[in-house]
Amino acid sequence: MPALLIIAIIIGIVLLVTGIVSAALKFLLFIGLVLIVLAVIGWIVRRVRGAGSRV
């Protein structure tokens, strides 16, 4: 019985760590997507303003 209990504890810890890492990765993915969108918007604004100043 103690061996089964130890295995259950190890599996529980692994699942807990996996859940925390997964949540952190989802948060970082969201932040990355926001940064990409902001960079694209900034690039477009710079492109439009640059084209207007050349004329």
pLDDT in tens, 4-40: 888 899 999 998 889 888 888 899 999 999 999 999 9
Model's pTM, two decimal places?
A: 0.62
Find the length of the chain.
55
Which pair of structure tokens corresponds to residue 43?
Answer: 């690039």
| Whole-number pLDDT of residue 35 | 93
Distance of CA 35 to the CA centre of its chain: 11
Query: What sign does the dihedral 23-28-31-36 (CA atoms) show?
Result: negative
Query: What sign does the dihedral 8-11-13-15 (CA atoms) show?
Result: negative
